[in-house]
Amino acid sequence: MAFSLVVKCYAITICTDIDEKCHLLGTTRLLNSITDFASSGGLGEAASWVCLRQDIYVSLTSNTPLNIHLDNYETSRSFYEADDGSWANRMVYIFARVLDVAFRSSSEMTVEEWDQFELECNEWNSTKPWTFTPLLESSSISDDGPFPMVWMLRAAHVVGHQYYCMAKIMLATCNPRIPKSGFGAFTARRNEEVSSLSQLSRSTC
């Protein structure tokens, strides 16, 4: 499985126009068949989390549900260990669940599901270790990109914060309380966007 993930990373890096997703399909089938990978520790568990992040990428770019069975991760060590990598993985798992519900074809996200995801995201952000606090954050947008620059100590801190931000953005997009049509729909969605951006800007402080 680790070799398949390396090949998939290479395929993403070379940025070909056509991605058949064959390597990821094989990896997800292997992970779904051997459920112990996600809680086995060592290279197997680490590879399973990388596989989940790759599946999230495909889900985001294709607007489709995840191929990985998320219940395989429920016994992962990341949910009871306190290191920064485990905290980042918890946020990856929360975001994966948000995507799985948001892109399902059977029904839209319910108010109860949205409230639960919002609660879990806010709880993760409020209880995460102090090490996730940015070392430095620019107060204005630079010429190098559309967003302010944020410096963090480790890759795990960046991953955790990125997936938290993406989860909040996805929840703002899928908020079932916002009307889908009518004159008030545009205003309500715009107010939700402004509120979400304000929350995200405060989350890094």
Which pLDDT tens digits describe the chain residue by residue (205 residues)?
555 555 555 555 555 555 555 555 656 666 666 555 555 566 777 878 888 898 898 888 888 888 888 888 888 888 988 899 999 999 999 999 999 999 887 778 899 999 999 999 999 999 999 999 988 877 665 566 666 778 898 999 999 999 999 999 889 888 888 776 666 666 666 666 666 666 555 554 4
Instruction: State the residue for tokens 């089938």.
Output: 29
CA–CA separation, 102 and 197 (whole Å) = 20
Collapsing DSSP states into helix, strand and coil, what is residue 41? coil
Q: How far are the Cα atoms of 98, 180, 194 from residue 183, in angstroms, in the given order?
A: 28, 10, 18
Q: One-letter amino acid identity for 163?
A: Y
End-to-end CA distance of the chain: 39
DSSP 71: G
At residue 76, φ and ψ (nearest 5 deg) are -65, 150
DSSP character string of 76-144: -GGGT--SHHHHHHHHHHHHHHHHHHHT-SS-PPPHHHHHHHHHHHHHHHHHS-GGGS-SEE-SS--TT
* Predicted pLDDT at 115: 95
